[in-house]
A and B are shown apart, each in its own frame.
Chain A
Amino acid sequence: MKDTFKLGNHEFTSRFILGSGKYSLDLIKAAVENAGAQIITLALRRATTGNVANILDYIPKGVTLLPNTSGARNAEEAARIARLAREVGCGDFIKIECIRDSKYLLPDNYETAKATEILAKEGFVVMPYMYPDLNAARDMANAGAACIMPLGAPIGTNKGLATKEFIRILIDEIDLPVIVDAGIGKPSQACEAMEMGAAAVMANTAIATAGDVPAMAEAFKYAIAAGRAAYLAGTGRVLETGAAASSPLTGFLAD
């Protein structure tokens, strides 16, 4: 059986959601292909006039577009951006970002839950980016979220799974895909999130600031696949004390 996960009515085999920020349009196609990504995030901004290149021309066909609501400070602003994004005509996925804190860029869970409720009712596939708090995650699930996207560390820091214990609680308690978003800086950290049972990992800065963008996209692909395979296999137990020989304790040679 194929190992897939669902967002709304859409099924995905790749568990790597790729961000498209902070690197050149020319690298996007190679990054998406090397990542094996089926979902790529985008932002919505005022359009410049004239004949400028548009990112939509650089994204391989068949890849699901996931616009975010970056720039929104509350639920109403997020809803406005989401509606405009849908009007461009590239589907009804939306990643909610409601951020009032300009230093640490931490999401406002309360406004995010409100935006989730508004947009889920309007038929969006709502993917809320959130601080990993169990009560807020339950609110978002009840409001109709298609998944939850807890942060591993503040956006763009590459600091890894700083919130590991709390993400573990969400994976245990929330009956939706848990997609670790933000802060994942290295493939090993993405792998760890997947071993814990995350449904997918989203990364942008880790790829965009790597020495070789497409090569790092590929490294993440392998790490995420390895972590998923390990989760499905069930990781081995940890001994609290002592040791346990892997080789037989009988049949030794005589002195």
Chain B
Amino acid sequence: MMIKVNGENREDFDGKTLSELLCGLGYKTSYIAVEMNGDIVKKDSYSTVVLNDGDSLEVVNFVGGG
């Protein structure tokens, strides 16, 4: 059972919600945006989206840039 987060495999999140994963990995939701299997997940859905084996997540935030 693997969930890919920013290219890294993560275990132990199968059946958990996206909120639980983000919180477990230490992300603060007000700073980030999430794409799951290529689709954006709205912030108000984090607590209802359930993760399944093979899901791939991109978690992004702002950094300095020109």
Contacts and interface: CB of A to CB of B under 8 A. Distances in A.
B33 A88 contact: yes
Contacts of A30: none
A155 B19 CA distance: 39
A182 B60 CA distance: 25
B61 A45 contact: yes
A49 B28 CA distance: 9
Interface stretch (A79-87, A136-144, A159-167, A246-254): A79-87
Contact of A87 (B27, B28, B33, B65): B33
Given A23-B64, A46-B58, A67-B62, A87 B31 contact: no
A20 B64 contact: yes
Interface in B37-66: 40, 42-43, 58-66
A67 B31 CA distance: 13
A10 interface: no
Contacts of A65: 62
B41 to A, nearest CB: 8
B66 A205 contact: yes
A88 B43 CA distance: 8
SS of A interface (majority) = mixed
A50 interface: yes
Contacts, number: 97
Q: Which of A22, A25, A49 has the most CB of B within 10 A?
A: A49
Contacts of B26: 49-51
A46 B33 CA distance: 10
Interface in A18-71: 19-23, 25, 28, 41-47, 49-51, 54-56, 65, 67-68, 70
Given A41-B66, A42-B65, A87-B43, A56 B31 contact: yes
Contacts of A89: 30, 43
Contacts of A25: 64
21 contacts: A19-B64, A19-B65, A41-B66, A44-B33, A45-B61, A45-B63, A46-B60, A50-B26, A55-B62, A56-B30, A67-B62, A68-B66, A70-B65, A83-B40, A84-B60, A88-B31, A88-B60, A88-B61, A88-B62, A204-B65, A205-B66
Interface of A: 19-23, 25, 28, 41-47, 49-51, 54-56, 65, 67-68, 70, 80, 83-85, 87-90, 155-156, 182, 202, 204-205
Given A44-B60, A56-B62, A85-B62, 17 more contacts: A20-B66, A41-B65, A42-B63, A43-B62, A43-B63, A47-B32, A47-B60, A68-B65, A70-B66, A84-B33, A84-B58, A88-B31, A88-B61, A89-B30, A156-B66, A204-B65, A204-B66
